[in-house]
Amino acid sequence: MDPIRFMLVFLISVVALVTTKANNTETDDVVWRERALQARQANQQAYEPNPHIILNHFNRHVHKAFEGYNSTRRGLSKHHSGPCEATNPIDQCWRCDPHWEKNRKKLADCVLGFGRHTTGGKAGKIYMVTDPSDNDLVNPKPGTLRHAVIQTEPLWIIFAHHMVIRLSQELIFTCNKTIDGRGAQIHITKGAGFMIQYVSNVIIHNIKIYDIKVGSGGLVRDSITHYGQRGQSDGDAVSVFGSSNIWLDHLSLSSCYDGLIDVVKGSTAVTISNCHFARHNDVLLFGASDSYSDDKIMQVTVAFNHFGKGLIQRMPRVRYGFVHIVNNDYTKWEMYAIGGSQGPTLLSQGNRFFAPDNRNAKEVTKREYTTESVWKNWVWKSEGDVLQNGAFFIQSGDPHHKFVHGPDYIPPKPGQFASTLSRHSGHLKCIPGLPCNNMSTPSRKRLMRDFKRLQHDPPAGISGAPQDNNIMLWNAVIFGTLLLSSPDDTPWDGGTFKLTLQFTEDYPNKPPTVRFVSRMFHPNIYADGSICLDILQNQWSPIYDVAAILTSIQSLLCDPNPNSPANSEAARMFSENKREYNRRVREIVEQSWTAD
């Protein structure tokens, strides 16, 4: 190509590139302006002009849930081995259902507070994320998280297996999405965070987000019909920007470049619940600019969260708006817990504030860039809070101000219950087929492993699983057709024999109590169904798991020990009259067909 022609082609290419970029920018402005306008209208509709309705609704549910929780605790021993512990109304709505995986969308019925109308992707299909990569930002690969969140239809997004996802740039959501991390360990880390911008109706549930970095920006697809140039992202874990009806629940958040959660630009109808925050400076920012007065419609509920180790400030820090901070557990902030400017309304109810040892940081509250003559008129109220280790909360506003008047007023659950209500905050380890319970003791963790093994590699002729809401009490079945090492003419053939296994917190150091529920006739089975088996007594070892226990009992049926009888009649008959013994066993088998 001659030099003149080359230069001409080069100039045409440059002009085309510049024109294309200008057109993209212009298109981006139009698209985002339209989204901002639609979001502003949605935010206005989501705003609750009578917030006392939300306060009463929330507190009523907490009182009701706590009564139910206490009823399950009565009569239990010091080492609790009873039903699933769901200690607040949001968790009680879904967590103790062992079939949560088959009814995932029930979660959308559980939100309380200002975000209570959030349904996420409930109206849509299930989308399974199968690929943790994030390599193509303009044309995301199907099966990736980025491909899921840009779809126009409502989606309930779940994960095929454990994943560590490093987002190359911020993850931009469309409306009506749920990210549901239950059933897998989902880590969002070492890359960019979540951007919920100018949308509505989003749920993010049960994932870990930490070590989030600043995204450099670039071309990023934000819907199936549009992509555009994005600037540098802030490095927040989750940014809620000009959006409404947002619910963030059971997230574990720590160590991000900027904030953990930002709620800004006129966002409203937001609930942040059951989250665990740790190792961070600027934790929660609600309203980012003193000049943006549209944040006056901001309404946020912060409930049942645990503010843990290594936090410095902003839990939250608020501009304008109304924030209900209720039944949270605060542990040793370094500067202050709750701050604000521009006259926000803050109602702190039923929280526990445990101050740091630093005598200069005992105050819960901090009014920023404002004189007392101004902030004394802001409505900041503390009701039912527990203040420990020298913590103190400076209230302001009319001392006679009441958020709710008259006989309809429902007080909060007091702060001494905040630790209980937030006990299971953060990411949960949910296993299909079991209640989504935090298995915090060694025995419960071991039983979870036992259950996984039975699910993935069950011995022939055996099944077993915990009862609906109790990991410490199992139901099991041994099928006579598949007895180990049994001859073809075994009298147990065709039977279905039910057992229960009751574990204690001493398991696996001590064996469970095992009994047949089905009627049995066997030399080594007592009349009450309990079993005379050496591994359940003096030969027990912690190496035995549930599968080994059931396999040993399975073998015992066809290979009894008449010299150590639990049923002397069966032992004598087995030794002296095998034909009659077999007839009696066949009667038991036939009864098992019709037993409940």
Q: What percent of the chain has pLDDT over 70?
A: 90
Residues whose CB falls within 8 Å of the CB of residue 453, separated by 6 or more in sequence, listed in order: 545, 546, 547
pLDDT value for 403: 85
CA-nearest of 159, 158, 165, 134 to 147 is: 134
Say if residues 203 and 108 touch (Cβ distance below 8 Å): yes
- Average pLDDT of the residues in 41-54: 97
Please report which residue ranges of 47-140 form alpha helices under DSSP H. Answer: 51-73, 89-92
> Among all chains, which residue has been given the structure tokens 């819907």?
223
- Average pLDDT of the residues in 250-260: 98
Task: Tell me: pLDDT of 118 over 50.
Answer: yes
Task: Tell me: pLDDT of 11 over 50.
Answer: no
Instruction: Give the span between the Cα atoms of 166 and 431, in whole angstroms.
Output: 24
Say if residues 299 and 321 touch (Cβ distance below 8 Å): yes
pLDDT value for 432: 85
pLDDT value for 69: 60
pLDDT value for 29: 82
Identify the bridge partners of residue 363 per DSSP, sorted by sequence position. 392
Q: What percent of the chain has pLDDT over 90?
A: 80
Angstrom CA distances, 362 to 49, 209, 326, 344, stand at: 35, 29, 20, 22
pLDDT value for 490: 82
What pTM did the predictor assign? 0.78
385-443 residue pLDDT tens: 999 999 999 999 999 888 876 778 899 999 999 999 999 999 998 988 888 876 567 89
16-47 residue pLDDT tens: 333 333 334 445 689 999 999 999 999 999 99
- Average pLDDT of the residues in 141-145: 99
pLDDT value for 12: 36
Please report which residue ranges of 381-441 form alpha helices under DSSP H. Answer: 418-421
pLDDT value for 68: 66
Residues of the chain with CATH 2.160.20.10: 99-421
Tokens representing 72 are 């399950």
CA-nearest of 237, 226, 255, 247 to 90 is: 247
- Average pLDDT of the residues in 312-336: 98
- The catalytic residue among 256, 436, 532, 558 is 532
Task: Tell me: pLDDT of 52 over 60.
Answer: yes
Please name the fold of domain 442-594: Ubiquitin Conjugating Enzyme (3.10.110)
pLDDT value for 76: 36
> Among all chains, which residue has been given the structure tokens 């929280």?
351
Crossing angle of the two packed helices 546-558 and 442-456, in degrees rounded to 10: 60
Q: Is 532 a catalytic residue?
A: yes
pLDDT value for 19: 33
498-557 residue pLDDT tens: 999 999 989 999 999 999 999 999 999 999 999 999 999 999 999 999 999 999 999 999
Largest CA distance in the chain: 112
Name the pLDDT band for 359 (thresholds 50, 70, 90). Answer: very high
Identify the bridge partners of residue 502 per DSSP, sorted by sequence position. 473, 513
Say if residues 225 and 247 touch (Cβ distance below 8 Å): no
State which H helix or E strand residue 451 sits in: helix 442-456
Residues of the chain with CATH 3.10.110.10: 442-594
pLDDT value for 483: 56
Task: Tell me: pLDDT of 486 over 60.
Answer: no
Identify the bridge partners of residue 366 per DSSP, sorted by sequence position. 339
Task: Tell me: pLDDT of 1 over 90.
Answer: no
Instruction: Give the span between the Cα atoms of 428 and 449, in whole angstroms.
Output: 16
Residue 127 main-chain phi, psi, to 5 deg: -115, 120
CATH second-level architecture of 99-421?
Answer: 3 Solenoid (2.160)
184-232 residue pLDDT tens: 999 999 999 999 999 999 999 999 999 999 999 999 999 999 999 999 9
Task: Tell me: pLDDT of 130 over 90.
Answer: yes
Residue 259 CB coordination number (10 Å): 27
Task: Tell me: pLDDT of 487 over 80.
Answer: no
pLDDT value for 347: 98
Task: Tell me: pLDDT of 582 over 70.
Answer: yes
Beta strands in 132-241 (DSSP E): 155-159, 163-165, 171-172, 177-180, 186-189, 194-197, 200-205, 208-210, 218-223, 226-230, 238-241
Mean of all residue pLDDT scores within the chain: 91
Task: Tell me: pLDDT of 88 over 60.
Answer: yes
pLDDT value for 187: 98
Identify the bridge partners of residue 238 per DSSP, sorted by sequence position. 194, 261
